[in-house]
Amino acid sequence: MTKSRSSARPVRLLAERSLSAEAAPGGTALAHKSRPARSVVVNLAESPLGWLLSRGHVSRRQYDAGERLRHDWERAQLSARVTMSWDAAPVARGRGGAAPAVDLTGSQLDARRRFDAAVAAAGPGLADILWRVVCGGEGMRAAETALGWPARAGKLVLSLALDRVAGYYRL
């Protein structure tokens, strides 16, 4: 006796994520605690990639590759700024002086290099759907419509892109 597809319950991929890096706000290490100082439980299936995984449209390897790519994208802070910058106004040496260049940390630069190399490994035709679904968080239907593709073509192209990214990350 087999279960029908409609009776199967969607998978909930719950994970605890730390809101702080490796240290508490006061600068003390968190090694002595069993849980991070600030954490949140998130449903990983809420992302479009997690949704595809829970319904069997992408493999675990492809999902892990997509998550690594999204982690590098977030770590490199490549998303658009949506709030005001509270940094001090740049002091110009003369009239009409240019603002100083953004000071990026080494981890941000490394993440940017990894992200750029992974997208290049996917290829120019595959990078669009990869970025839209994995990094941009668009649903498959919205990404297909924005790219002018027919319905259900995005899953095939995304799976090819994720396979190439998984090869880049050696998963």
Instruction: Give the span between the Cα atoms of 35 and 80, in whole angstroms.
Output: 31
Assigned token pair, 148 = 């002018």
Quick check: is 2 in a domain?
no
- For residues 128-139, b (16+ Cβ closer than 10 Å) or e, as one string? bbbbbbbbeebe
Quick check: is 152 in a domain?
yes
Quick check: is 147 in a domain?
yes
Quick check: is 123 in a domain?
yes
Please list the ranges in the chain whose pLDDT falls under 50.
1-7, 21-32
Residue-number span of the structural domain to which 136 is assigned? 45-79+106-171
Quick check: is 110 in a domain?
yes
Given this model, what pLDDT does residue 157 score? 92
Given this model, what pLDDT does residue 158 score? 93
For residue 134, the 8-state DSSP code is I
Query: What is the tally of structural domains in the chain?
Result: 1
Prediction pTM value: 0.63
